Amino acid sequence: MPLYEHVKRRIAETILLGELTPGTVLPGEVAMAAEYGVSVGTMRRALADLTADGMLTRRRKTGTVVTGRTPQHSLRFFFQYYRMHRADGGLMTSAAEVLSIGMVPASAALADLFGEAEGEPLLRLERLRRVEGRAVMHTVMHLVRHRVPGFPEVPAAVPQRIYIHLLDVWGIRISAIRENVSAALADEDDARRLDLTLPAALLVIDEIAFDQNGHPTIEARHRVVSDDHRYINEIR
């Protein structure tokens, strides 16, 4: 990844996660370059791209300002951010809580998917994603343990954005995702985790994420409440 893309991604994260709110005036390019440890030219390129995406605007006498506009999803953002939107299309800020993390032997199906031997140790993560305090997504995901040595073993240490953590620590870039989307009725476990009154409908997303070499890296199942928001997936 070019360095300016890395910087742009980090700034975009802070905007999309609400850490930089609309109307915030950013420091000057020199100060931001020093903060991120890059050259002024690299920072200028990153800010120019974010301005072209509509996330920033340049104002005379004021400087570079966070617009609050949601960028059109391109493949730059596609793999990095929660893709549930309000009914009006606005991107929603979310936070993920890891409920548990442990080791399980690969079933025949998962061993075949990952190209490993049956019984190969897998990491199993269970987490809950909240939007504005409401639990909206329950996820169970699996990764091959030996491919991510040193992955956090304590729930509180698992990063919010696992795709980005894979890239930063092990150089594993999630370059493609296959999703199978279906509808289902919530069960008692769903009702407990997602605070639902049965009967209730859920969106079920079965996901396989592939690395830059085309190897399956993450297998996950998401069970999602979608009564007041929408799942939007745009590929350009």
pLDDT, one tens digit per residue, over 52-86 is 878 899 888 888 999 876 554 443 444 344 556 66
Q: How far apart, in Å, are the Cα atoms of 159 and each of 103, 150, 169? A: 18, 13, 11
The secondary structure of the chain in percent helix, strand, coil, rounded to multiples of 5, reads 30, 35, 40
* pLDDT digit string, tens, across residues 205-235: 999 999 888 899 999 999 998 887 777 665 5
- Looking at domain 3-66, its CATH architecture is Orthogonal Bundle (1.10)
Say if CB 205 and CB 179 are below 8 A apart: yes
pLDDT at 89 over 70: no
Say if CB 181 and CB 204 are below 8 A apart: yes
User: How many Cβ atoms are within 10 Å of 99's Cβ, its own excluded?
Assistant: 14
User: pTM, whole model, 2 decimals?
Assistant: 0.68
Integer Cα distance of 162 and 208 in angstroms: 14
The pLDDT, as a whole number, for residue 200 is 93
Average pLDDT over the chain reads 85
CATH superfamily label, 75-231: Chorismate lyase-like (3.40.1410.10)
Say if CB 46 and CB 40 are below 8 A apart: no
Residue indicated by tokens 């030219």: 41
First to last CA, the chain: 20
pLDDT at 7 over 70: yes
Measured in degrees and rounded to the nearest 5, phi and psi for residue 234 equal: -115, 130
Would you list the domain boundaries of the chain? Answer: 3-66, 75-231
